[in-house]
Amino acid sequence: MHDIDDLIEFHNECEFLDFKQEEYNELNKPHLIKDVLAFANAAIIGNRYIIIGVKKNDGVTELFNIESKLDSANIQQYVHTNITPELSVDYAPYQYKGFNLMVITIQSPESQPYMVEKDVSYKKGAVCLKANECWVRKGSYQIAATRKDFDRMYALSASKESLKGKLEITFAGTNSDVITLKSLKDLKLPSRENAKELEMIIAKKEDMQKNNPFGYKLSIRNPMFPWDGTSYEERDLETLRKNLKNVAKTYQDEDYYTVFEKHSFKLNLEIFNSGNTYLEDAMVELIIPNLDIVLVADRIHYVHKTNSNPLQPSSPRTIGFDELNYPLVKENKENYIVTETIGNIKHNIKQEGFKVPIRLAIGKIEQDTELTLLCKIFGKNLVSPIEKELIISIKT
């Protein structure tokens, strides 16, 4: 599923996207069937979109308010009546930068080839499309389907059937779709430990400043050079209070490193293709519920080590394999969505879902619970993704 804002801002017309300045009307309504039909037969995976109220020309985007005279039920009925087999289509308003647009979503066609069910005519009677016509979207154009297009679509259908029920998805190293994890509790984060130390030293120095001012002054050491460090015990109260105020920010890297590299569960998947066909250009997507107790790292965390002494310049840090190859993690209000392209999945060979395991941390819980993950496998020769639920049993 694409983000509509991103489609408008960053994409041009292609196999899954078209822009229209005006809404379809009674005079050109048959063009809707031709457009939807061509998109449905495009050689891509996933949804296709027609965004109405947008015009793009030489990099310039113009927006137009659309006062829709059509509704979703009307569009769906018109498509279902004129395209076979049945196709799922949605028509909905969309607000973008203060403009009311309309979006037609053709939802992951699964039964190519799609064809014209019966003759489709203009309002005045002229035939626009004949029964059994088949159109295909290629780039920003639509053309009548060729023998090559039909061969591709029928091969795709056969491949889908050959892979049906043949992909096994489990947690890596377990041969199971259920694992048991313990929640993290009483975790000693560097920021919390340093905050406790600072609070004790501040209390001690406040008492010293009040009852032994001379001793308090002697306890403060001013470094000879700016890059010389001082311990908490050697700092004045003003500095210590600033340190306490900023302690979370100061130790943020250490906190993330402690949670995700030292104490998290390193989660990976294992995919086994027991069929007799490769799954081509595969992509794995793992959806993890975004609950209060769940944290998923969006990258590999490490502790920044800086050298403030200009006389001893530090060498550049070498970026490791895990940092370069960590999967893409996106977070929204409902879920973490982890994706990675893994290429062809050969048959009879186990393959890991991610080059680098996901860092997953489960916070403290009061009672045992379960977390349901949804894994989707996409592929060039799959019309729709293969889905599998995986369970994490969480113990206190």
User: Same domain for 15 and 137?
Assistant: yes
In a domain? residue 15: yes
User: Same domain for 127 and 228?
Assistant: no
Share of the chain above pLDDT 90, in %: 71
Q: Which helix (H) or strand (E) holds 170?
A: strand 167-171
Q: Answer whether 329's CB lies under 8 Å from 284's CB.
A: no
| Longest CA–CA separation in the chain, Å | 103
What tens digit of pLDDT does each residue of 216-226 get?
999 998 776 66
CA dist., res. 18 & res. 243, Å (int)? 55
User: Same domain for 238 and 310?
Assistant: no
User: Same domain for 218 and 345?
Assistant: no
Evaluate if residue 243 carries a pLDDT over 90: yes
In a domain? residue 256: no
Split into its structural domains, the chain has a count of 3
Q: Answer whether 53's CB lies under 8 Å from 63's CB.
A: yes
User: What's the confidence (pLDDT) of residue 299?
Assistant: 95
What tens digit of pLDDT does each residue of 25-36 get?
989 999 999 999
Pairing of strands 386-395, 178-182: parallel
User: Same domain for 275 and 385?
Assistant: yes
What tens digit of pLDDT does each residue of 246-256 get?
999 999 999 99
In a domain? residue 41: yes
Q: Tell me the CATH number at 276.
A: 2.60.40.10
Evaluate if residue 316 carries a pLDDT over 90: no
User: What's the confidence (pLDDT) of residue 116?
Assistant: 97
Q: Which domain holds residue 219?
A: 190-250
Q: In what order do the strands lie in the sheet with 167-171?
A: 167-171, 269-273, 350-352
Average pLDDT over residues 321-341: 95
Share of the chain above pLDDT 70, in %: 94
User: Same domain for 234 and 305?
Assistant: no
Evaluate if residue 11 carries a pLDDT over 90: yes
User: Same domain for 200 and 141?
Assistant: no
In a domain? residue 326: yes
Can the peptide bond before residue 316 be classed as cis, meaning omega within 30 degrees of 0? no
User: What's the confidence (pLDDT) of residue 382?
Assistant: 76
Q: Answer whether 394's CB lies under 8 Å from 295's CB.
A: no
- Select from 250, 273, 302 the last residue of a domain: 250
Evaluate if residue 99 carries a pLDDT over 90: yes
In a domain? residue 283: yes
Q: Answer whether 25's CB lies under 8 Å from 69's CB.
A: yes
User: Same domain for 48 and 86?
Assistant: yes
**Of 321 and 70, more confident:** 321
What tens digit of pLDDT does each residue of 205-241 get?
999 999 999 999 999 987 766 656 788 999 999 999 9
User: Same domain for 102 and 121?
Assistant: yes
CA dist., res. 125 & res. 13, Å (int)? 31
User: What's the confidence (pLDDT) of residue 2?
Assistant: 72
Average pLDDT over residues 287-310: 84
Q: Tell me the CATH number at 50.
A: 3.30.950.30
User: Same domain for 282 and 382?
Assistant: yes
Query: In the chain, count of helices (H) and strands (E)?
Result: 10, 24
CA–chain centroid gap for 224, Å, is: 50
Instruction: Classify 221 as helix, strand or coil.
Output: coil
User: What's the confidence (pLDDT) of residue 227?
Assistant: 57
